[in-house]
A and B are shown apart, each in its own frame.
Chain A
Amino acid sequence: MGTKLNSAAAGTANYVDERTSIGGFVKFFARKLFPDHWSFMLGEIALYSFIVLLLSGVFLTAFFVPSMTEVHYEGPFETMHGVAMTEAFASTLKTSFEVPGGLLIRQIHHWAALLFLAAIMTHMCRVFFTGAFRKPRELNWLVGFTLMILGLAAGFSGYSLPDDVLSGNGLRIIDGVVKSIPLIGSYISYWMFGGEYPGVDIIPRLFTMHILLVPGLILALIALHLFLVFLHKHTQYPGGGKSHKNVVGLPLFPVYTAKAGGFFFVVFGIIALVASVFTINPVWNYGPYDPSPVSAGTQPDWYILFVDGALRLMPGWIAGVFPLEWELWGYTLSWNILIPAVIVPGIFFAIIALYPWLEAWATGDKGERHVLDRPRNVPVRTGIGVAMISFYVILVIEGSNDIVANLFHLSLNDITIFFQWGIFIIPPLAFWITKRICLGLQRKDRELVLHGHETGTIVRYDHGEYVEVHRPLDEQEVWLRVSYDNHKPLEIEPELNDHGVARKGYRWDRFKQRLSRFYFEERVEPVTPEELEEARHHHDSHGAHEAAEAEESGERLDSEWEELEDGAKR
Chain B
Amino acid sequence: MHAIARRRHHRAAPLLLVLALLALITGVAAVAAPSAATASTEASADDVAAGERLFAANCASCHGLDAQGQDGVAPSLVGVGAAAVDFQVGTGRMPMQASGPQAPAKPVQFDQDEINQLAAWVASLGAGPAIPTPEQVDPALGDAANGMLVFRTNCAMCHGSIGGGGALTQGKFAPSLLETTPEHIYEAMLTGPQSMPVFNDANITPEHKRDVIAYLDFQSNGSPGGLSLGAIGPVSEGLWAWLILLGLIIASTIWVGARSS
Which residues of A does B touch, CB under 8 Å?
Answer: 36-42, 45, 78-83, 96-97, 103, 107, 111, 114-115, 118-119, 122, 165-166, 259, 262-263, 266-267, 270-271, 274, 276-282, 284-287, 290, 292-303, 305, 399-403, 405-406, 409-414, 565, 568
Q: Are B26 and A36 in contact (CB under 8 A)?
A: no
Chain A residues with CB under 8 Å of B238's CB are 114, 301-303, 305
Main secondary structure of the interface of B (DSSP, over half): helix
CA distance A411 to B242 in the complex (A): 26
Identify which of residues 159-211 in chain B touch chain A, using a CB-to-CB cut-off of 8 Å: 159-162, 164-167, 169-171, 173-174
Report the 5 A-B pairs with minimum CB-CB distance, sorted nearest first: A296-B166, A302-B238, A38-B257, A279-B225, A297-B233
> Is B72 on the interface with A (CB-CB < 8 A)?
no
Chain B residues with CB under 8 Å of A274's CB are 240, 244-245, 248
Q: Are B246 and A122 in contact (CB under 8 A)?
A: yes
CA distance A118 to B245 in the complex (A): 10
* Selected contact of A103 from candidates B218, B224, B229, CB within 8 Å: B224
* Selected contact of A266 from candidates B235, B241, B249, CB within 8 Å: B249
Interchain residue pairs with CB less than 8 A apart (15) = A80-B148, A83-B149, A263-B253, A278-B226, A284-B224, A292-B153, A293-B157, A295-B166, A296-B167, A297-B234, A298-B233, A403-B167, A403-B233, A406-B165, A411-B169
| Minimum Cβ distance to chain A for residue B95 (Å) | 21
Chain A residues with CB under 8 Å of B133's CB are none
* Selected contact of A118 from candidates B145, B153, B167, B242, CB within 8 Å: B242
> Is B2 on the interface with A (CB-CB < 8 A)?
yes
* Selected contact of B152 from candidates A270, A293, A412, CB within 8 Å: A293
Q: Are A111 and B167 in contact (CB under 8 A)?
A: no
Q: Are A402 and B252 in contact (CB under 8 A)?
A: no
Q: Are B225 and A103 in contact (CB under 8 A)?
A: yes
> Is B147 on the interface with A (CB-CB < 8 A)?
yes
With CB as the reference atom, state the residue of chain A lying closest to B25: A278
Q: Are A114 and B237 in contact (CB under 8 A)?
A: yes
Main secondary structure of the interface of A (DSSP, over half): helix
With CB as the reference atom, state the residue of chain A lying closest to B165: A406
| Minimum Cβ distance to chain B for residue A528 (Å) | 33
Q: Are B256 and A263 in contact (CB under 8 A)?
A: yes
Q: Are A279 and B229 in contact (CB under 8 A)?
A: yes
* Selected contact of A97 from candidates B170, B215, B224, B236, CB within 8 Å: B224
Chain B residues with CB under 8 Å of A402's CB are 166-167
- Interface centre among A97, A267, A296, A406, by most chain B C-beta atoms within 10 angstroms, is A296
A45-B249, A259-B256, A411-B170 given; A302·B235 CB < 8 A: yes
| Minimum Cβ distance to chain B for residue A231 (Å) | 24
Q: Are B215 and A79 in contact (CB under 8 A)?
A: yes
> Is B228 on the interface with A (CB-CB < 8 A)?
yes
A38-B258, A42-B253 given; A297·B171 CB < 8 A: no
CA distance A45 to B247 in the complex (A): 12
7 further contact pairs, Cβ within 8 A, besides A39-B257, A282-B231, A297-B235: A39-B253, A40-B257, A263-B256, A284-B224, A295-B156, A296-B157, A411-B169
Interface residue tally on B, bucketed by range:
35 or more
Chain A residues with CB under 8 Å of B248's CB are 270, 274
CA distance A270 to B170 in the complex (A): 41
With CB as the reference atom, state the residue of chain A lying closest to B170: A411
CA distance A401 to B167 in the complex (A): 9
Q: Are A296 and B158 in contact (CB under 8 A)?
A: yes
Q: Are A296 and B174 in contact (CB under 8 A)?
A: yes
CA distance A285 to B215 in the complex (A): 10
With CB as the reference atom, state the residue of chain A lying closest to B168: A412
Chain A residues with CB under 8 Å of B160's CB are 295-297
| Minimum Cβ distance to chain B for residue A92 (Å) | 12
Chain A residues with CB under 8 Å of B236's CB are 403
Q: Are B161 and A286 in contact (CB under 8 A)?
A: yes
A96-B224, A279-B223 given; A80·B145 CB < 8 A: yes
With CB as the reference atom, state the residue of chain A lying closest to B173: A406
With CB as the reference atom, state the residue of chain A lying closest to B153: A293
Chain A residues with CB under 8 Å of B223's CB are 279, 282
